[in-house]
Structure 1
Amino acid sequence: MEFKMKDGGFVAELPYGKLDISGDENYGFRPYQLLVSSLAICSGGILRNILEKMRLDVQDIQITAETERNREKANRVEKVTLHFKITGKGLKKEKLERVMALTRKNCAMVQSVEGSIEVEETFEIVEV
């Protein structure tokens, strides 16, 4: 990736489109938003793949991410909580607990921050 300076931040031209990044939301995505998005969407993608391979009847996955930051240490991200709302038919809590463990183990972004950022995953099942 190549990042070029622009007014208020930086920009990268990527195959899918332009990515504007800045510490000021008026000029682009904030770096911490990209970090949290990487954790959430990597986990969500792995979760989706595992559920599809298991042929579980899932219609939707929604992810809510909450962040705890430490103002005393450069406002660093210390904890990210990812809550997965999984909508489907016949989903069992015990099976999804195993799926969540596999998801964590196979998500490159979560594994990359292990030991420096606490990542907590929770889920709820919405039966349709």
Structure 2
Amino acid sequence: MKFNYADEAFETEFEFGKLTISGDEEKGFRPFQLMVSSIAVCGGSVLRKVLVKQRMEVSGLQIEAEVTRDPERANRLTEIRLHYIIEGEQLVESKVAKAVELASKNCPMAQTVIDCVNIEETFEIRKN
């Protein structure tokens, strides 16, 4: 990866397109937003794969993320709370709970920060 600074932001190019990152949210994505997004979407992607492997059909999946930061320590992320809203017809709560646990253990982004950021995961099931 290569990042170039221009107009108060860093930019990089990926296969999908250009990514602009800045401390000013009017100029680009803020670094903490990208970190939280990476952890949330990684966990959600792994969760969906686990649910499909367990033969549970998922018709929708939303992730709500709440973040706690410590202003005394450079606004460091201290906690990320992820709430999965899983939609489907034949979802079994006990199996979904195990799937959430498995997803957390197999998400590389969450495992990268697990020793310094508390990650809490909850879920709810919604029938179609």
- Same-fold status (TM-score > 0.5): yes
- With normalisation by structure 1, the TM-score equals 0.98
AA partner of residue 4 (structure 1): N
Structure 1 segments of 4+ aligned residues over 4 angstroms from their partners: none
CA RMSD of aligned residues (A): 0.7
For 1:60, the equivalent position in structure 2 comes to 60
Taking the aligned partners of 1:21 and 1:91, their CA distance within structure 2 comes to 38
For 1:73, the equivalent position in structure 2 comes to 73
Taking the aligned partners of 1:100 and 1:48, their CA distance within structure 2 comes to 9
Alpha-carbon offset, residue 109 of structure 1: 0.4
Alpha-carbon offset, residue 126 of structure 1: 0.2
Taking the aligned partners of 2:27 and 2:5, their CA distance within structure 1 comes to 12
For 2:13, the equivalent position in structure 1 comes to 13
Alpha-carbon offset, residue 127 of structure 1: 1.2
Q: Which has the higher strand share?
A: 1
Instruction: Summarize deviations over 1:70-107 as a string: whole Å, max 9, x none.
Output: 00100111000000000001211111111011101100
For 1:87, the equivalent position in structure 2 comes to 87
For 1:100, the equivalent position in structure 2 comes to 100
AA partner of residue 42 (structure 1): C
Say which SS state the counterpart of residue 115 (structure 2) adopts: coil
For 1:22, the equivalent position in structure 2 comes to 22
AA partner of residue 50 (structure 2): I
Say which SS state the counterpart of residue 57 (structure 1) adopts: coil
- With normalisation by structure 2, the TM-score equals 0.98
Gap regions ≥5 residues in structure 1: none
Alpha-carbon offset, residue 31 of structure 1: 0.2
For 1:4, the equivalent position in structure 2 comes to 4
Alpha-carbon offset, residue 13 of structure 1: 0.7
Gap regions ≥5 residues in structure 2: none
